[in-house]
Amino acid sequence: MHSLKLISFLFFLLIVSFVSGQAIDNTSAYKNIDSDHYFRFSYENDFFVATDYYYTQGINLELVSPSLSKFPVAKILFKPVSSDVKYGLAIEQNGYTPTDFTAHQILYGDRPFCASLFLKFFSTAVDSAKQRRLSSSFSVGVLGTAAGGEWMQVNIHKALHNIQPYGWDNQIHDDVILNYEVEDECQLFARKGLLLSSYATIRAGTLSDKASAGVTLMLGRFSSPFQTSELMKKKFRLYSYDQPLISAVGYDATLQGGVFNHTSPYTISASDITRITFQNNFGFVATIGKLNLSYYQSYLTKEFRTEMFHRWGGVSIGVEL
């Protein structure tokens, strides 16, 4: 009953956040929280790096709880034998705009307006013996007007007395989101205060088809994300991380439009999509008792031929329950 109330509260918080491709990664080793029962809020915005275009905002609200293992969708999540498994449920909304969101006309050669909203079921399985983490997720939601991107941006700009956006009439039209993702991480090297691990992920579906590979470096005081023993937990943790990634892109509905609905007024053609991209994620994490705080920034190279490089930042607040 307690978990059901928390799930209801999670839905409520998403609505409150509205009034006020890049999927927020909540399962990587550097995001680890040493509990199988917690709530976390993550907020990303390019405001943190003094821009207001391309990937302009992301909101993620997640609940991790053992009771979520009873959901039917948990059966399709990838869970190796002999692993300790966490189950989670998240709601995520992302918004994208061109470089000039005040223009009424379509800005050809620029990013199209787009918003996505989806529910994500996920699990993270840790095999301490092999020092390996396997995460999988299944997302279902909507792309387009139904995702509420225009309403979100208009209301935020009104509240801040900022310039109003006018180009959302040209946004990518409604379509369905069905996506599946698997993430594999293995410890490569570890010493006190230092950990290096490999990272690989592949996702497929109607929102994004992409494979990525890279490494993650963690420096500082932390509990190993590849161990599940309660003896590994530290009440105080403070560390930094860096994660460079290379991605091969097959399809991106936030640029190319939905798979089923081809009526969008403007999209990026497949021939203009950049098939290989580089992204770097770095940040700082502090944990005091049951409270987990982080600040981070990301850098991404061009996603299509006429695009510029892009940066954004984010914060997250997690509480062990």
pLDDT score, position 52? 86
* Percent of the chain surpassing pLDDT 70: 91
Exposed (0-12), middle (13-18) or buried (19+): which is 251, by Cβ within 10 Å?
middle
Q: Are residues 172 and 114 in contact, defined by beta-carbon separation less than 8 angstroms? A: yes
Residues 6+ apart with CB under 8 A from 265: 106, 170, 173
Query: pLDDT (tens digit, 9 = 90+) per residue, 149-159?
Result: 988 888 888 88
pLDDT score, position 13? 38
Burial 81-119 (b: 16+ CB within 10 A, else e): eebebbbbbbbbbbbbbbeebeeeeebeebbbbbbbbbb
pLDDT score, position 219? 98
pLDDT score, position 18? 36
- What is d(CA 143, CA 21) in angstroms, rounded to the nearest whole number? 11
Query: pLDDT (tens digit, 9 = 90+) per residue, 222-275?
Result: 999 998 765 456 679 999 999 999 999 999 999 999 999 999 999 999 999 999
- What is d(CA 195, CA 174) in angstroms, rounded to the nearest whole number? 43
Q: Are residues 165 and 158 in contact, defined by beta-carbon separation less than 8 angstroms? A: no
Q: What is the DSSP string of 177-209?
A: EEEEEEEEEEEEEEETTEEEEEEEEEEEESSEE
pLDDT score, position 10? 42
Q: What is the CATH number of the domain that holds 184?
A: 2.40.128.140
Closest CA to 227 of 200, 198, 190: 190
Closest CA to 18 of 191, 155, 134, 187: 155
Taking the CA atoms of residue 166, residue 101, residue 275 and residue 261 in that order, the dihedral angle to the nearest 10 degrees is -10
When divided into structural domains, the chain yields a total of 1
* Percent of the chain surpassing pLDDT 90: 77
Encoded tokens for 306: 């006429």
pLDDT score, position 20? 36
pLDDT score, position 156? 82
| Ranges of the chain whose pLDDT falls below 70 | 1-22, 229-234
Q: Are residues 183 and 28 in contact, defined by beta-carbon separation less than 8 angstroms? A: yes
pLDDT score, position 3? 47
pLDDT score, position 232? 54
* Total residue count of the chain as it appears in this document: 321
Q: The domain containing residue 111 runs over which residues?
A: 2-320
pLDDT score, position 143? 96
What pTM value is reported for the model? 0.88
pLDDT score, position 5? 45
